[in-house]
Amino acid sequence: MIVFMGIDIASAQVADFHQVLRDHPRYWGERDLRSLHLLALVQEFGSMCLVARAEDGIRGYVFGFVTPNGTGYVHLIATRDDARGTGLGRRMYAAFAEAAERHGARRLKAITSVENAGSIAFHRGLGFDVRIVDDYNGPGRTMAVFHRDLPLDISAP
């Protein structure tokens, strides 16, 4: 467990997953991304699915896993509306990167829609390279694909 600003970053539990879904608009606003939230990730890759718990609930989470080729793949990362701009997202990414390295990862990867300017800026700020890939998620589904080598140093600009 990692403590950051009085918030414990620890492995997600099934109850955390359900809490995240109940509070979905606080993380994603009007975007309905519930279909991307897969309980199987928490069930099968629990040590790679992290939540940031505080007294008032889950302030953020990151769900991912390590692929057989040594890539730590971030499937979802979100911070609650009242935790944005605090550095929590960067700290959660660092916690995920540390866990991924312990599981043999040598690089990180994530994807987002090309319209998600906030996510693109966030990942670039963490030192990720971004490529725009046509048809990445099926015909006509262009995505921004992020890569970066480990380790991840969140203190670097």
Q: Where are the domains of the chain?
A: 2-149
The CA-based dihedral angle spanning residues 30, 31, 32, 35, taken in that order and rounded to the nearest 10 degrees: -160
Q: Which CATH class is domain 2-149?
A: alpha beta
pTM: 0.92
pLDDT for residue 4: 60
State pLDDT tens for residues 46-71.
899 999 999 999 999 999 999 999 99
- For 22, residues 6+ apart whose C-beta sits below 8 A from its C-beta are none
State pLDDT tens for residues 104-156.
999 999 999 999 999 999 999 999 999 999 999 999 999 999 999 999 988 75
pLDDT for residue 81: 96
pLDDT at 3 over 70: no
Residue 150: burial class (beta carbons within 10 Å; 0-12, 13-18, 19+): middle
